[in-house]
């Protein structure tokens, strides 16, 4: 026990002395969370469009006003001698609304009437959103003028729960929190152990009769202390910046956080033990924890969209489970009954990493 504690205090002293470590532990994750949480947004706001009104009637102008009133679009002027296509080609606008001649007459006659929306689909995400918004506006417009666009027998009334405004900060904020918690604790742990190998101080450890478990647990506990500090800082940032807060019973979230930090630090220790070079260990970890957490965890892209052949990999990515827990804790508030399998999965993956790290170091000697 004493050897574990001395290991912890030694690691913490080293981290404190090393400016790079302090930056890695606190400054960089804070910047990452702020940047990612605010910069990524899939909301469409003030998208420039041009309008070609071939009808020039009060009703056509009303429709244009409906588009203008929407937060999603911003109408930019189109010179009378220019075609709407030219505005798309010159990138002055991302979309063009074309209202045909006799629009008002056909509308009043109850004949089917169409307006055209040309959309620049180079960015497929945005174009999908434009399409949806344009459709929503035209449906609302028809309804307002006493003309339900398509009457069906069953109508779906959608209500958005937990994030009624579909605020993307509330979606990406927790995601960036998880990403930062995935990267930095494991990075520090990997650097810490790789450095011992690189500078050969590991020999001093081997010379003493400390066991692999004592050595690893000491290293991991120290990493978890730093991880806890990060967690507090990043959670504070997320809550104050992204308009989220802890909802419901936080005990599942707390448990999952502890396990997740353990899991990340164990992965770091495993990589640091396997690769006794700081630079190489950092690269390996960047690949494993950053890319996998970013791409295969549902952080940004829904897991359902991952091709099935790759989807099983995401089952091994702990961030995938942690993000479930975090979104639940910050948005939904379901607590244990909603997320217990995820918490369990994080614990299991963490134990797997720890066991592998122990297996790598179990002899506590140079294996030449």
Partner 1 sequence: MTAPAPVVIRLRDLRKNYAAFEAVRGVDLDVRAGEIFGLIGPDGAGKTSIFHILGGVMPATSGEIEVLGLPARDARDSVGYLTQAFSLYVDLTVKENLRYIGALRRVSDAEIESRGDRYLRMFGMAEVPHRLAGQLSGGMKQKLALACALIAEPRILLLDEPTTGVDPVSRRQFWDALVRLSAGGMTILVATPYLDEAERCHRVALMHEGRIRQAGPPAAIRDSLHLRRLEVRAADLGRAEAVLAREPTLSDVQRFGDRLDVMVENAESGRVAVAAALKQAGFPPASIAEASPTLENAFVLLLRRLGGRLEVPDFPSSRAPVSLRDRAEIAGYGMNKRFGSFQAVQDVDIEVHPGEIYGLLGANGAGKTTTIKMLCGLSQPTSGVVELAGERKQLRSRSVRGVVGYMSQKFSLYDDLTVSENLDFFAGVYGVAAPERAAKKRWVIEFAGLTGHQDQLTGSLPGGWKQRVAFGAAILHEPRVLFLDEPTSGVDPLARRVFWRMINYFADRGTAILVTTHYLEEAEQCNRLGFMAGGRMVAEGSPTGVKQAQGGCVCVLGVDSPQRALDALRTAFDPWRMSMFGDHVHVIVDGDGKAEAARIRGILEGAGIALLDLQPQPYSLEDVFLALAARNAGAGP
Residues in contact with partner 1 by the rule CB under 8 A: 2-3, 6-7, 10, 13-14, 17-18, 199-201, 203-210, 365-366, 368
Determine if residue 166 is left, alpha or beta; phi over 0 gives left, psi from -120 to 50 gives alpha, anything else beta. left
Smallest gap from Cβ 7 to partner 1, in A, equals: 8
Measured from the CB atom, the residue of 2 and 337 that comes closer to partner 1 is 2
Measured from the CB atom, the residue of 191 and 252 that comes closer to partner 1 is 191
Sign of CA dihedral 309, 312, 316, 320: positive
Measured from the CB atom, the residue of 344 and 366 that comes closer to partner 1 is 366
Which are the contacts of 101, defined by CB distance < 8 A and separation ≥ 6? 54, 55
Measured from the CB atom, the residue of 11 and 55 that comes closer to partner 1 is 11
Smallest gap from Cβ 302 to partner 1, in A, equals: 42
Which are the contacts of 3, defined by CB distance < 8 A and separation ≥ 6? 210, 214, 218
Smallest gap from Cβ 366 to partner 1, in A, equals: 4
Measured from the CB atom, the residue of 149 and 279 that comes closer to partner 1 is 279
Measured from the CB atom, the residue of 210 and 352 that comes closer to partner 1 is 210
Smallest gap from Cβ 208 to partner 1, in A, equals: 4
Reference 119, options 74, 82, 88, 79; nearest CA is: 88
Contact (Cβ atoms closer than 8 angstroms) between residue 16 and residue 227: no
Measured from the CB atom, the residue of 194 and 235 that comes closer to partner 1 is 194
Smallest gap from Cβ 123 to partner 1, in A, equals: 42
Q: Whole-angstrom distance between the N-terminal and C-terminal Cα of the chain?
A: 30
Smallest gap from Cβ 26 to partner 1, in A, equals: 18
Cα 40 from Cα 176, distance rounded (Å)? 10
Smallest gap from Cβ 331 to partner 1, in A, equals: 42
Reference 254, options 343, 323, 314; nearest CA is: 343
Radius of gyration of the chain, Cα coordinates, nearest whole angstrom: 28
Farthest-apart Cα atoms in the chain, separation: 94
Contact (Cβ atoms closer than 8 angstroms) between residue 131 and residue 117: yes
Rounded to the nearest 5°, which phi and psi values hold at 95?
-155, 160
């Amino acid at each position: 026990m004493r050897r574990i504690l001395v290991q912890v205090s030694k690691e913490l002293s080293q981290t404190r002395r090393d400016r790079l470590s302090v930056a890695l532990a606190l400054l960089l994750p804070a910047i990452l969370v702020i940047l990612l949480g605010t910069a990524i947004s899939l909301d469409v706001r003030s998208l420039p469009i041009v309008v070609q009104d071939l009808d020039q009637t009060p009703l056509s102008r009303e429709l244009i006003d409906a588009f203008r009133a929407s937060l999603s679009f911003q109408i930019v002027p189109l010179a009378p001698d220019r075609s709407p296509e030219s505005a798309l080609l010159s990138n002055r606008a991302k979309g063009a609304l074309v209202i045909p001649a006799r629009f008002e007459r056909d509308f009043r006659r109850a004949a089917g009437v169409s307006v055209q929306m040309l959309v620049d689909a180079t960015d497929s995400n945005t174009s999908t959103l434009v399409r949806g918004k344009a459709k929503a506006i035209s449906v609302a417009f028809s309804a307002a003028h006493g003309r339900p666009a398509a009457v069906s027998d069953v109508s779906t009334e959608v209500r958005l729960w937990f994030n009624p405004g579909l605020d993307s900060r509330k979606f990406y904020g927790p995601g960036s929190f998880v990403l930062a918690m995935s990267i930095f604790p494991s990075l520090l742990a990997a650097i810490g152990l790789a450095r011992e190998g690189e500078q050969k101080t590991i020999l001093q450890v081997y010379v003493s009769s400390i066991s692999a478990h004592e050595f690893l647990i000491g290293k991991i506990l120290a990493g978890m202390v730093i991880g806890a500090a990060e967690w507090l800082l990043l959670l504070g940032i997320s809550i104050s910046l992204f308009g989220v807060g802890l909802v419901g019973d936080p005990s599942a979230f707390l448990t999952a956080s502890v396990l997740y930090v353990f899991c990340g630090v164990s992965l770091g220790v495993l990589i640091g033990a396997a690769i006794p070079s700081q630079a190489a260990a950092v690269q390996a970890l960047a690949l494993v924890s950053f890319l996998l957490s970013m791409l295969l965890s549902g952080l940004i892209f829904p897991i359902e969209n991952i091709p099935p052949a790759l989807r099983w990999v995401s089952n091994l990515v702990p961030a995938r489970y942690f993000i479930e827990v975090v979104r639940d804790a910050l948005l939904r508030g379901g607590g244990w009954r909603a997320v217990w399998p995820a918490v369990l999965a994080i614990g299991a993956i963490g134990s797997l990493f720890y066991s592998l790290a122990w297996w790598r170091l179990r002899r506590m000697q140079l294996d030449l």
